[in-house]
Every structure is written in C-alpha cells, then in structure tokens.
Structure 1
Amino acid sequence: MTLKTALWLVSGLLSLVIAGSAAAQEVTSRLTVMTYNVENFFDAEDDPRMPNGSSNEVINTPAWVSAKAANVARVIQRFDFGRGPDVLVLTEVESQASLEAIKGALNNAGAAYVTAVLLDADPNRPAPKPDQRGIKVALLSKLPLASGFTPRSFPVDLTKASDCKSRDGAAGTTRDLLQVDLALPDGKTLTLFGGHLPSGGNPRVCREIAAQTIATLAAKLPQSHVILAAGDFNFNCAPEERKGLAAAFTGWVLPAQLDNACRGSGSQFYGREKTWSYLDVITQKASGSSQDWTIDPKTFRTVLTDNEQLQWDDRDQVMRPKAFRFNAETGKGSGTSDHWPIAIDLVRGGK
C-alpha cells in the first residue's frame, strides 16, 4: 500500500467518523412529539367495573382490535420518513391490552418504544370520578423513564363547577391527566402531561378547569424540567374557546395554527358547523430548562401518512378524517380515526 493510498483511506475513515458523529449529534438534538386521538380503541375484554352500551364500554372482537391496531400503527410508523415519533401521546385508549395491540402492530413489535404507559382509573372511586366509558390517555416513547420516576395520574375535579354535570345530573367526569417524566439524551428531564379534556358537549368552563389543572401541576415542578403538555384538549376554533385555551396556558408556547379562527385546516372537521378545529394540542411551558429544549412552532404539522386516514365528504366538499370501520365478513378494516394526528419538533439548544 502506498503512502498516498494509506492517507486516502485514513481520510475516508475520518470523514465517515465525522459524518457519523454529526448524524448522531443531529439525532440527539431533535426529537419529534406527536399526539393522536385513536377514537374509541376498546379492547376485546369486558371490564366488569364498567357499564356497557353505546355511550359506555364497547367490547370488540379480537379481529377488530387487530385490524384497528394495524391501521393506526401504519400512520404512526410512517411518520418522519419511517422513523415514527420519538414521543407519542395517545387518547381514547381503553386499556393496557389496547395499548399493547398498537405497540405490537408497529415494526419489530414496537421495540423502539422502550416506555409504554397507561394507568388504570377505578370508575367506582369517590368523586372526582374518571371518564365513565373507560377511555384513558396513554404514552409511547423511545426515551426511557427518568431515573427514579414512576408515572402518575391526576383527576380533574369538576365537582365544584355547577355547569359541569353528567347527563344524570351527577358531578361531571373526564379523563385523568397523565404525567410521565422522560430522560432526554443530554440527561435533562422531559415532563410530559397527557390530557383528554372535556368534550365540546360540555361548557367551556369544564375544559378551562382541566387546562388550568395541567398548568397548576406544571408550576410545581422544578425549573430544571422541560415541560410539555399534549393531547385532545377539545377547545374548538370559536374565539372564546381559543381565548380560554390561551388564558389557561399563559406563559406557554402555543403554535399559531391552533388559533385558526375557524379557517383552514385542523385535526378534526365538525360537519354541523362546517368548521375545522385543532382540537389536538402540543404546548410547552416556556421557563427554566425549557429554554434548552424548545418546540419549534414552524414544525407544527398535521400528520397524514396513509390513504386510510382520508375520506372525501361529498356533502361538505372536504377531505376529512376517515373513522375506522370493520367488516366482520371480510375480516378487514378501513379508516383509522375521526382525528388526524398532529406533531412538532423538540429541538435542543435552538438548533
């Protein structure tokens, strides 16, 4: 081997090492966060604690669960050029079995998602009770849990709000909030609050109480935490709704698209009023170590990765989210959910 050839090989190896180091640095300097309402993902088992019926627990067949999981998983897996999100908040997930069905349908049985969290909520506990359908908030993450942390859930207390009542006049219920602390690549802690706030059928004050609960919990955390909240917050595009969202999250970063004034796109289309809304939200508390890792508002996007997410609505002349439907005769499912997911990049050091 000549000296020239040896130098060329060394130079090439150094280039590969430098390029590899740069790629690794790029990976650890950018994370993707997604939230996805997967629409009534009930499992195939009866939870004896829950009432059954059209507005309560639904017991699906194993074939339904498998088909739904496969369609939802395709949307997740194809995101970010096939890498999938680094952190994923899922709403309307009934159980650990439902979460494992989604995880199992991902490539390599979701092995990249080292953290999978869903906390059970006893429907018969004293008020404030959780959602009486049994749907919950779950999380999948490629980041491990922060050292010594155990995931926690928090009830949203609607009992003192006279407007927040259930159909039978009892105190209002909604999904518990989920808190998960994750270890970021540089050793800092990412605290993520997952929420599914009271639906649009409830007065705005009910959503405001739930949003303020998240903000209050976040205010108690150390300044060293990077703090995000994500999920289906159910604030629609109406001006007073957007004001309520902004007021509850004063001092937080809210992407501009969330305030769409009932114009343009969103994560769900409301046929009765013919409006788009970003019911789904990702926001960040802008203080402390949140300056080290920041969401980049320019990267906020609706996640459309699969044809089964799309359905043309002849009546309203819009392409809207395609809800999942299962054909028991063929064993095949179509559609995914009545929401489109949203995502945003979390960037280290403003890079």
Structure 2
Amino acid sequence: MSFQICSLHLPNETSHPKGSASMRCMLLTASAVLCFGSCLAQAQGTDSRKPADDSFGPGHRYGQTEAPDRTPGTLRIASYNVLNYFDDVDDPELSGEWDDKDLASTAEQLQALASSIRETDADVIALQEVESRAALIRFRDQYLSDLGYQHVGSLDAGYYRGVEQSVLSRIPITSISNWPGLSTADVRRVGPGFQPVPKNPVVAFQRSPLMVDLRTEDGYEFTLLVVHLKAGGKSHAYRREAEGLKLLELVTQMERDDPERNIVVLGDFNAKYSYKSMRLLFEGGLVDTMQCRATEPSDEDTPLWVTHESGRTLDYILLNSAMYNEFVPGSSFVLGTLYPGDSSHYNWRTEDPPAGHASDHYPVAIEIIPVD
C-alpha cells in the first residue's frame, strides 16, 4: 500500500489583518492532521478495488463513498458536471437538431444528482451542462430547497447545444459575467508539447468561461472561473490548449488589476493531468489542489481520484497563489456516485443508465479558510 504526501503550504501571516493569525494557526494545525488523515483514509480505501473476475457491474467504483467531515470554520467549494441537465419546459430558442423537447432529465436522474449534491455539502458548487438559470432554479426549488442555495448564477455560454456553466451558492454573488465566442486566435504557443494546429482551426471557446464574484457576510471575497473545455480526442487538443492559454491570460489580467485577488479556476477540463492543456495551467502558476492524488494505474489508491466513469481524471479545482494561501491541505476529495457498469454490463451509447445513476462525472471538492 502506498501513501501520498500532501504538502502543507503556510501562508504569509504578515499579509493578514490583526486577530486573524490565531484563527488561521488553529485551522492550519487541524489542516495538517486532516492532510495526513485524508491521504491515509484514501490510501486505505478498499471500495474501489477490482473484483477477482475483472468485471464491474453497477455500483460504487471510483471516489469516496461519502464526503469527509467538514473542517470547522471553513468554506467548501465544489465542481460537478451534471450530464446535460434539461428541464421539461420547451426552450423555443432550441429547435431542429438541437431541440430540447425530448431531452428532459428523468426524475430518477434528478433525484440522484440531488443526493450527490446534498452529500457533497458545498457552500458553493460550480456546475457544468446546465440548460439555463431558470432550469437550475426549478431543480433547486424541487430537490434542494433546504440546502441554503439562495444565490444562483448561470449565463448563456454561446454553445449550440444549449447548456452552460452555473453556480449554486450559500454565499452572496456580487457580480457575474462571461465571454460568449471568446476568441483564442491571439494565443501564443511557446515551447514544446503543443499539438499541431490544423490549416483552418477553430479559434474560439466552445463554451465561454463563467466568472462569478462572491463575498461572505464577513467580507471575504473570491472569484470563480467555471470552465468546460472542449471535449474530444487528440484532434481537438489544440483547442483545449488554446482555451487554457486564454484562461491564463484572464487570470493574469485579474491579478495585475488586483494582486491579492483570490481566484478559483474549476470545472470539467476534459483532459488528464499530464496533458499539455493542463500542464500549461500548472506551469502558468495555477495550483492543482489534488496534487497529492495517486496516479499510477497499478496503485490501489488511484481509483479514489478518478472523476469520470471512463476511469479518467477530467475535473479539477485550481487556485491562484493568493487563493492557495487559504487552501486547507488534505481537504480535497472526489465523491463517488453510482458507476453504471463496464462494457460487459452497460453500453452507454445504446442503453439507459441503471436506476440511481446521476452523471458520468463525480463531484470534486476542497475547503478554504475564508480569511485574507
């Protein structure tokens, strides 16, 4: 059995207001214990091991079976791709090939999604593949009305299929914006490892990032950039790389305007951690909050960090250096939901998923100390 080492990052106390140091010290002491305990618990996980016949039917396969206990005094931030959530109200703007009238999510899926969100228990949860703000409010009011998500953000991302990035929050949203059709034509690919750009490339985000500013009652402020980068294989990697470079430009400009701005870049990046579209984000200064994950396929801990039922890690929560000061080491986790079964049990192209299936992605979450 292998044990993962989580780094304990100690913020610069001189940058914090008088009176916050003792609170931070206590929380970081608890965080150090949590860091070891979290990685130890994940290393000891047995739910994700393959059975002797090398076959998986419906059940738990990836991630934790339940969310860890909350660290007192922290905020939990999560991300979750909810697999094309459409309500049962026909959107007149979606017609023809992309008409949504037959795309309504089933009550069974919505109940499973609600159960996953409830277990994750995030104060702020970024969502991908949501039809609209109105649809999200309907879902919240019907399934999550007791969770305190009074604040809802969602904007048209400029995607032809009609889904967008969204936010449910217990913390007030102070502003929200995005950039539909944001061009990537001017990004500069410097250094090795980039995929070739085709002769006639697409030079725009497929789905605009969503920027959401939040402020707690105590005055702690932070910004979310909720992303859903281009899906597809190697032929689309150049687009993900361009989107990643443009994301770095956005973050860099925000930091120039306010060097102390707390920024979280999170969502479905549609790339493994080793792909260039992810490496360039790390090299550009964004910190992977799940960098203590096990990654070797032979390591029994690796399934605990998988975020997609295909066995890949595609979902991330990245922090800029200012926000990383507030990160609770060891607090990151993946919440495993129902795995529908491997190809010997389930064909996702031709069959409906089994009862209790929420999404092909799993929620990912971290905790932060809301004290600058």
TM-score (norm 2): 0.65
Contact kept? 1:66, 1:101, Cα under 8 Å: no
1:268 aligns with 2:305: no
**1:196-250 CA distance string (max 9 Å, x none):** 000033522211222222222222221232110110011125x4x1x43121242
Q: How does 1:238-249 map to 2 (within 5 A)?
A: 239=274, 241=275, 243-249=276-282
Q: How does 1:294-305 map to 2 (within 5 A)?
A: 294=327, 296-304=328-336
- Distance of aligned partners of 1:187 and 1:170 in 2 relative to their CA distance in 1, 3 Å threshold: closer
Aligned-residue offset at 1:42 = 1.9
CA distance, structure 1, for counterparts of residue 83 and residue 222 of structure 2: 27
User: Residue 38 of structure 1 aligns with which residue?
Assistant: 82
1:87 aligns with 2:124: yes
User: Residue 233 of structure 1 aligns with which residue?
Assistant: 269
CA distance, structure 2, for counterparts of residue 157 and residue 258 of structure 1: 33
User: Residue 344 of structure 1 aligns with which residue?
Assistant: 366
Contact kept? 2:205, 2:243, Cα under 8 Å: no
Q: Cα RMSD between the aligned structures?
A: 3.6
Aligned-residue offset at 1:68 = 2.9
Match for 1:157 among 160, 170, 183? 183
**RCO comparison, higher one (Cα < 8 Å, 6+):** 2
CA distance, structure 1, for counterparts of residue 160 and residue 198 of structure 2: 14
CA distance, structure 1, for counterparts of residue 110 and residue 95 of structure 2: 24
CA distance, structure 2, for counterparts of residue 165 and residue 174 of structure 1: 18
5+ residue gaps, structure 2:
1-25, 28-69, 188-195
**1:164-223 CA distance string (max 9 Å, x none):** 799xx8766511110011013541211011010000335222112222222222222212
1:311 aligns with 2:311: no
Aligned-residue offset at 1:160 = 6.7
Which has a greater percent of strand? Answer: 1
Aligned-residue offset at 1:303 = 0.9
CA distance, structure 2, for counterparts of residue 342 and residue 89 of structure 1: 10
- Distance of aligned partners of 1:291 and 1:91 in 2 relative to their CA distance in 1, 3 Å threshold: closer
User: Residue 156 of structure 2 aligns with which residue?
Assistant: 120
Aligned-residue offset at 1:257 = 5.3
TM-score (norm 1): 0.69
Match for 1:76 among 110, 117, 125? 117
Q: How does 1:105-184 map to 2 (within 5 A)?
A: 105-107=142-144, 109-110=145-146, 112-121=148-157, 130-146=158-174, 150-155=175-180, 156-158=182-184, 163=197, 174-184=206-216
Contact kept? 1:193, 1:228, Cα under 8 Å: yes
Instruction: Quote the sequence identity (%).
Output: 24
User: Residue 104 of structure 1 aligns with which residue?
Assistant: 141
Aligned-residue offset at 1:326 = 8.0
5+ residue gaps, structure 1:
1-21, 122-129, 271-275, 328-332
